[in-house]
Amino acid sequence: MSSPRQEDRCSTDGLLREFEHCVALGAQGAFLAWNFFAQNQSLDLAFSGESPGWAGWGYNPTGDNMIGSSALIAFGNATGAHLHLYSITSETYTYRSLHPSASNSTPDLQLARTNWIKISGASIQFSARIKFRSNSSRIFHIWTRGTGVNGDSPLPHSVTRSSELRGRGTLDLANGTGVLGKAPSLALKITHGLLCASSWGFLLPLGAIAARYLRRFDPAWFYAHECCQGLGFLLGTAGYGIGLSLGAKSTGIEYTTHRRIGITVFTLGSLQAIAFFLRAKKDHKLRWLWSLYHRTVGYTVIALSIANVFEGLDIFSPERAWRRAYIGVIAGLASMAALLEIARTLKPQLFG
């Protein structure tokens, strides 16, 4: 779980040396030292992390997931150094609103006492005694860090840095050993976002612009429209599939709005693809009805797709440059469409 050089700190740091067991956790420069008392399922622990804002360690009775864990989080502010116990549920995770647990207690453990808190620069250390409500010497645990707090509420940690996602594993409290867990795939999340933003959120609007304003260049407009829509649907389907896979792997986490919009977009997009092969001929008396359906569903898909890209950005919380880049792309498409619409109104003969 750690290198020999890291383990040296367990013997050189006076705050950690007092404990029977000590391990370097293998992510974020964190260490955990402890004494375990099996007779009453209590644990004296000391956690050491590197963070400019807050650092925390948590216990989960069912797996090495953030959801369902009880976490000790330490931070400093104008009133001093603080350590609180938090219960991380799917609701608090989704809405990113953590508040200290009442009476220093959760369904899985109790914070019996805080021994000490030491904050120096980017180093945060704390020691506490906790009591487990279930009997087990082998536990799942998590740890991570963040950049700041709002009152007693830690601000969300980054989900775009792999180091912030690797803080998970198992501990054998009796034998003093630990195993680093496997972090969720950051690459899959990025791939999902890029595929969906470039397909549903860019190629489909671009194809709609081609269909509305390039009809003078027949049949080039049709091929441009179908190329954008076809490629967009294929890439979007791949992104949708990755999204379903990520959802299945995210135990206890469900972004309901993002998921429902995604399902709606994919369903309507699939109907559009089917409608392409069922379209009436140009001289058919019901062609107008097909065209009305095609435009209505198409514009609905585009509007929902763009909204869902921003919903995904809110969930993923990447660096601001990503959001600004997509806003720039959408603003560019909207400006182009607006100028073409003005020109189409003033000189309709140019647009066929």
Edge to edge, the sheet with strand 138-146 lists: 80-88, 69-77, 54-60, 138-146, 168-172, 177-180
In Å, how far from its chain's centre is CA 344?
42
- For the four alpha carbons of 33, 37, 43 and 44, in that order, the dihedral sign comes to negative
**Which one, of 140, 133, 136, lies nearest residue 63 by Cα?**
140
Q: How far apart are CA 292 and CA 289, in angstroms?
A: 5
Peptide bond before 156: cis, by omega within 30 degrees of 0? no
Q: What are phi and psi of 303, to 5 degrees?
A: -65, -45
Pure H helices in 140-286: 162-165, 186-198, 204-213, 220-249, 256-277
Count the Cβ atoms, other than its own, within 10 Å of residue 48: 25
Contact between 73 and 84 under an 8 Å Cβ cutoff? The reply is yes
Beta bridge partners of 22: 33
The reply, when asked if residue 99 is annotated as ligand binding, is: no
The reply, when asked if residue 258 is annotated as ligand binding, is: yes
Q: Which two tokens stand for residue 237?
A: 């389907």
The annotation places the binding site at 192, 225, 258, 294
The annotation places the binding site for heme b at 192, 225, 258, 294
